[in-house]
Structure 1
Amino acid sequence: MTTLLHSDQPIHQRFTALVEDTPGPSWQDLFERCWPGYRDWYLRNGVFGRPSYLDCRRALRKHMPELVSTWERLVELAGGGDIEARILSMWCPPVYIAGCSQAVWIDPFGEQGPALLRNYDYSPDLLEGNWLATRWCGQRVLAMGDCLWGALDGINEAGLAASLSFGGKTQAGEGFGIPLVMRYLLEVSTTVEEACDILKRVPAHMSYSITLLDTNSHWATVYVGPDQATYVTRRRAITNFQHQVDWPAHAKATSAVERLAALEYWVVDKTHSLPAVAAALLQPPLFQTSYRRGYGTLYSAVYQPASRSVELFWQDQRWPQSLFAPQAGERDIVFPIGPS
């Protein structure tokens, strides 16, 4: 839960780790806590401005059949209503725009496996802050949650790590909200290749870049969007544009070009250690403090597929987790004051 006070006061955010193999009371509590905000967001253009229940169910069955039984269980826990079912399907939701930086680091000395690092930049008002450890489709998934059961970034039991960033275009089309696409590929994929196949066939309703890394040391950054064919690249660093800057005002406001240059310096240079790259995420231009403008850095993360481990970290705290033994808990974070 986020507390936004007067413009000259600090911003507080609580992060919560939940461990629940199958949807039950913990998820239901999460839903009840977050539901009013999501309902207002989803219905801001009216109930008839969104797809019908039948359209939502048909889209899930066609594109993500393995998730249908989990979706039905979540709808039941949410009270079984029509609006709840439609929101949880994440089919053609309203638009949303974030920031984010992400990169793949490769050990210059070949002594340890590669890592996926990311900064998540967004409005603290809109962050769930829920870290979910689940077994919804068989394998363990540990992911930072969004849209009640979607994922912003995460890792699964097979050692596949994935992270998303906004792709820099405002156009929206027919497709799923990207957090549910992320959830799906973490639930059913085991390799980068399998995840790429999913991203090629499952439509996304807005432009996003997804960086993938697995235990075979394979990686890819994949561009998805409603107005383009899915494009698989070997880019090791990405911010908030794909082939070129399509939204100059957003790129300028979020320092997207400068962040990309910094990331490329840290991950392409052969001499930088993983701790050094992680430390760079907490410094400008990668670390951003424009929280009240909607793009402050809310958390940083480093995923290491070889050890199935992940660590969230901030300016003054670190929170490591192992996929083999995730632990429930809470962390209270105070963000530095940025421009009002």
Structure 2
Amino acid sequence: SDRDHRCTTFRAFVEERPGEQWRAHVRRHWPRLRPSGVDDPFTTTWRTSVLGLSIPALGAMSADLAAAAELDDPGLTAFLTHVDPPRPEVTGRQVTGGRALVRNLDADVTRHEWTLWQSRLGRRRVMGTTAGLWGLLDGINEDGLVVSLNSDREVRHDDAVHGLSGPLLVRHLLEHCAVVRDVDEALTGWRTATTHDITV
């Protein structure tokens, strides 16, 4: 059927700080990505507070990205926090062959963004495949650290009911880590909404 033979266009852009290309990226995918139940001002305030208290640097980035999008939609502000994401983003497998990393992702084709973004939202340049507009399915930073999300399964734990998404975790690690040994420290205090498998 036609549904089995979909085609898509991959996009890439380089923009260190969110600007015109960020706004185009947001408008391309919003409101298609917009979950229900994000209109309530209390929900928006609560989500921004959770991210700001959990990972202050990411909270500031999220606020900057929301402002730079120039959309009058409080739902976008809530969405960009990646707090309690509405559904798992991805499952899949990957293998290495020589110096190549081959990834086979099982992602909803209607929700995948098909976009690579090279940015400098913090101290490091980061390039990766976007999910949730600024989260990343995989990526590399200027220090050569590579992080990829293999699965983001809907398995919740009692101590992680209010948590963050897998794609935001990948962004966090690439923004804050220079080498693999930095990852354990960066994960301290990370509250996860689902069970994540990542490769570093």
Instruction: Name the TM-score, length of structure 2 as normaliser.
Output: 0.86
Deviation at 1:201, TM superposition (A): 2.0
Report the equivalent of 2:174.
186
Is 1:25 matched up with 2:11?
no
The CA distance in 2 between the partners of 1:196 and 1:126, in whole Å, is: 30
SS at structure 1 position matched to 2:13: strand
Counterpart amino acid of 1:180? L
Q: What does 1:67-216 align with in structure 2 at a 5 Å threshold? A: 67-78=58-69, 79=71, 81-96=73-88, 98-103=90-95, 116-166=101-151, 168-171=153-156, 173-212=161-200
Name which of 26, 36, 39 aligns with 2:31: 36
* Cα displacement (A) at 1:188: 1.2
1:185 is matched by which residue type in structure 2? L
For residues 81 and 7 of structure 1, the distance between their equivalents in structure 2, rounded to whole angstroms, comes to: 32
Check the 8 A contact 2:39/2:75 in 1, yes or no: no
Q: Is the 8 A contact 2:145 2:179 kept in 1?
A: yes
**Matching residue of 1:60:** 51
Residue 122 of structure 1 aligns with an amino acid whose one-letter code is: A
Query: Deviations 1:198-231 (Å, cap 9, x if unpaired)?
Result: 234211101110110xxxxxxxxxxxxxxxxxxx
Q: Secondary structure at the match of 1:92?
A: coil
| Alignment partners' CA distance in 2, 1:50 and 1:205 | 21
- Equivalents in 1 of 2:187, 2:42: separation in Å? 22
Q: How many residues align?
A: 196
**5+ long unaligned stretches in structure 2:** none
Work out the percentage of aligned pairs sharing the same amino acid: 29
Q: How far did residue 47 of structure 1 move?
A: 4.0
1:82 alignment partner AA: P
The aligned residue for residue 254 of structure 1 is none
Q: 1:180 to 1:167 in 2, by over 3 A?
A: closer
Structure 1 85/49 Cα, relative in aligned 2: closer, same or farther at 3 Å?
closer
2:38/2:74 contact within 8 Å kept: no
Contact 1:50/1:93 (<8 A) preserved: no
Q: For the Cα contact (< 8 Å) 2:87–2:154, is it kept in 1?
A: no
CA contact (8 A) 2:136 2:170 kept: yes
Question: Structure 1 residues 124, 85: closer, same or farther in 2, change over 3 A?
Answer: same
Shift of 1:148: 0.5
Contact 2:176 2:186 in 1 (8 A): no
Cα-Cα RMSD:
2.4
Deviation (angstroms), 1:191 = 1.4
Deviation at 1:35, TM superposition (A): 0.6
SS at match of 1:190: coil
TM superposition score normalised by structure 1: 0.53
Gaps of 5+ in 1: 108-113, 213-340
Q: What is the rounded CA distance, in whole Å, between the counterparts of 1:92 and 1:49 in structure 2?
A: 15
Q: Which has the larger radius of gyration?
A: 1
The letter of the residue matching 1:161 is V
CA-CA distance at 1:170 after TM superposition? 3.9
- What is the distance in 1 between the residues matched to 2:120 and 2:16? 4
The AA in structure 2 aligned to 1:75 is A
For residues 101-143 of structure 1, the C-alpha deviation after alignment (integer angstroms, 9 at most, x for no partner) is 12456x6xxxxxx665422222222210010001110211110
Query: C-alpha deviations, 1:248-273, integer Å up to 9, x for none?
Result: xxxxxxxxxxxxxxxxxxxxxxxxxx
1:14 alignment partner in structure 2: 9
Indicate conservation of the 8 Å contact 2:41/2:74, yes or no. no
Partners in 1 of 2:148 and 2:22 — Cα distance? 22
